[in-house]
Amino acid sequence: MQIRIAIQVDSEAITTLINATFSKAEAFFIDGDRITLQAVQSLMEKGKFLLAHDQGTITGCVYVELRGERAYLGLLSVDPEHQRAGLGTVLMNAAEKYCAESGCRFMDLQIVNLRTELPAFYRKRGYLETGTAPFPREFSPKLSCHFVKWSKALT
């Protein structure tokens, strides 16, 4: 398993991976894709996707964006066939290391409040809840929801 920074040619595979991951996890409250190819390409202009790959196959990704002393992490995705094997932790470690080495002192992220399995994962990694934010209306959620913001000091 290797971690590398994505390049533009990876954008279709990233889009497919994110949509496969999130459709499994969020189908109970969102219909349709989580992200478009154009959105992935736009994010690649502002930040970086770190990819986990094994023998040329992308098995996971995470998006990071450097924002001064803070970094934003999002779209942590692991291929459904590779979940529950520690790959999410590997990607989080790589993202935190990349951002810390880039001079960031804090990592910020947000999760949907309906994803009740996620808080324990992030608390275990040292993240603390810092507030809430509205969920984007363009996703037309089937259930009322919002984002919960989290942050962690990077060492």
- Taking only the tens place, the pLDDT of each residue in 43-71 is 999 999 999 998 888 999 999 999 999 99
92's CB contacts (< 8 A; 6+ apart) are: 62, 73, 76, 125
- Do the beta carbons of residue 92 and residue 40 sit within 8 Å? no
Number of domains into which the chain is organized: 1
CATH number, domain with residue 58: 3.40.630.30
Position with higher pLDDT, 73 vs 25: 73
What proportion of the chain, given as a percentage, has pLDDT over 90?
83
Q: Looking at residue 136, what DSSP letter applies?
A: P
The answer to the question of residue 47 being in a domain is: yes
The answer to the question of residue 126 being in a domain is: no
> pTM, whole model, 2 decimals?
0.94
Average pLDDT over every residue of 4-29: 94
The answer to the question of residue 87 being in a domain is: yes
> Quick one: pLDDT at residue 140?
86
Burial of 56 (0-12, 13-18, 19+ CB in 10 A): exposed
The parent domain of residue 86 ranges over: 2-109
Q: Which amino acid is at 88?
A: G
Mind listing the pLDDT tens digit for each residue in 101-146? 999 999 999 999 999 999 999 999 999 999 999 998 888 899 999 9
The answer to the question of residue 137 being in a domain is: no
